[in-house]
Amino acid sequence: MRPMVEKLFLQLNMPTEDVPLGDRERIEAALAVCGIEPVVFPLSVLRTLYPMCRDCGYDITVTLVYRQTEWVVFAVEPGDTTSMHYSLAVDYGSTTIVMELIDLRSGAVIGQEKIFNRQSRFGTDILTRITYTMESPEARDLLQRETVKTFEELLDRLTEQTGIDARACPMMVLSGNTTMIHFLLGLDAWTVFASPYAPVTSAPGQFKGSDLGMGFAGYISIIPAASNYVGGDIVSGLLALKMHEQEEASLFFDIGTNGELVIGNRHWMIAGAGAAGPALEGYISRYGMRAARGAVDRVSIEKDELSFTTIGSEKPLGICGSGIIDLLAGMLKNGWINMAGDLEPSASDRIIYLPEERQYAAVYATAEESGTGTPLFFTQTDIKQYMDTKAAAYTMIDCLLETAGIGAEDLAHCHLSGAFSAHSDLENAITIGMFPDIPRDRYRCISNTSLEGARLTLLDRNKLQEAAELAGKIYCVQFASIPDFLIRMQAARFLPHTDLERFPTVKNSLHRP
């Protein structure tokens, strides 16, 4: 391993009148022998050298942070403290932030915590948050402070979990989309969404935690983005998947509140992004909710009998994204809805009419089954809204494949990342037409490639340069500039699609007696 932080125990000679070499110069000479140069000594560290070095007989431990062109001394401590060598990896998501404490000696994950992003109170989607920050400089500052509070809570939780002071770690490698990075740094994120779509920065580099008003002693290294919509979380994911090292073309789709996807191999990379919307988090429905305790996460319909499971095995309070996919697929295969997504009232007693809303709905939990004491249902409007979301996901893949000049059958691998993908039933997602109908062994569902890439970068400093080169290699497509994007999306607003030949296995299952 070549971690972003090195911690070296040095046993130096005491200064003499014959060799009155300064403490800093003495340390620099020893580090140069170890191949670590040039070295920068912050004033705050210089002030700790005397009398500490003399008091411990120059048996000291030096902690250094890598900054690509130089090393920065983070701390000089008396004695051998190399056994305490930890730093942090973070996936900075729009809905959830995940932080890991890593042992830099072994690469082992010592602890992990995740938390709901405090930004969400300013809007479940990113555009709403951007609109809020445009109200005034104070609004932008408030959102930035709430973001910092989320990080600080994670640091404190990790400290409590592991007994190791996470706030004292020298390094945090962080990956997130371009807008989220702007929020963290207190930059105007409107530049990400407004023409000509040139963000304030795609490669922010490194900052001290104190620069951001964070109670974190170390440096924060941010993985660079490829464009306004294809952020550092995607570049981080590509590092983890190693698509840029392979001959065969593969697809990488990170799908959540936003959807970003890349198709390519070692010779070329094409990427695009679009708003998947809150539907994938379950928020479109009156009883929709994120994946939390009490959320219906699995639904099965067999011979008109509907059953479900919930997170935490509690009585249901609502339904999350994975449950919605199962519900739609089950209703389609059992004739409760047709290809257009219209509910068929005669198909099941669970399909009821809501007079006050003038529409039908499918009850997935009766009043007796639910944790609220009232029926939980998915309405006709909910179905149509979700079909918009799944149509957008499929159309983005379809357009990117055409831009690359290949078909879905040419993909060697399809990597689906994000909590939504990791917890959803792949077969049901293909049944409703969200992903291409290709051999299932080509699919790989991964929980968090963004976090995995951040961890890899923390443990191998050469990944920083690799990330920069990869970000510069990616050609980004603006879906809004594709003339027939909306027409293609209309064709995909059916279950699974207007062209059933694109979904041969689904076609066979739907026409089964």
Residue 363 lies in a domain: yes
| In a shared domain, residues 131 and 74 | no
Residue 235 lies in a domain: no
| In a shared domain, residues 310 and 381 | yes
Residue 157 lies in a domain: yes
Backbone torsions φ then ψ of 51, nearest 5 degrees: -95, 10
CATH of the domain at 137: 3.30.420.480
pLDDT band at 509, cuts 50/70/90? confident
| In a shared domain, residues 270 and 412 | yes
Residue 439 lies in a domain: no
Angle at 82 between CA 455 and CA 168, to 5 degrees: 60
| In a shared domain, residues 459 and 504 | yes
| In a shared domain, residues 125 and 175 | yes
Q: Domain containing 298: what range?
A: 279-386
| In a shared domain, residues 455 and 468 | yes
Q: What is the pLDDT of residue 513?
A: 41
Residue ending a domain, choose from 45, 78, 111: 78
pLDDT band at 276, cuts 50/70/90? low
| In a shared domain, residues 99 and 151 | yes
| In a shared domain, residues 97 and 59 | no
| In a shared domain, residues 396 and 372 | no
| In a shared domain, residues 181 and 129 | yes
Name the helix (H) or strand (E) containing 176: strand 171-176
| In a shared domain, residues 91 and 217 | yes
The rounded distance, in Å, linking the Cα atoms of 221 and 206 is: 4
DSSP summary character for residue 377: E
Residue 418 lies in a domain: yes
**Tens of pLDDT, residues 15-46:** 988 888 999 999 999 999 999 999 999 999 99
Q: What is the pLDDT of residue 280?
A: 54
What is the DSSP annotation of 182-242?
Answer: HHHHT--THHHHSTT---S-S--EEEEGGGGT-S--SEEEEPPPSSSSS-HHHHHHHHHHT
The rounded distance, in Å, linking the Cα atoms of 192 and 275 is: 13
Q: Which two tokens stand for residue 125?
A: 């989607």
**Tens of pLDDT, residues 225-261:** 999 889 999 999 999 999 999 999 999 999 876 789 9
| In a shared domain, residues 213 and 298 | no
Average pLDDT, the chain: 92
Between strands 305-310 and 318-319, the pairing is unpaired
- Domain count for the chain: 4
Report the predicted TM-score, pTM, of the whole model to 2 decimal places.
0.89
Q: What is the pLDDT of residue 125?
A: 80
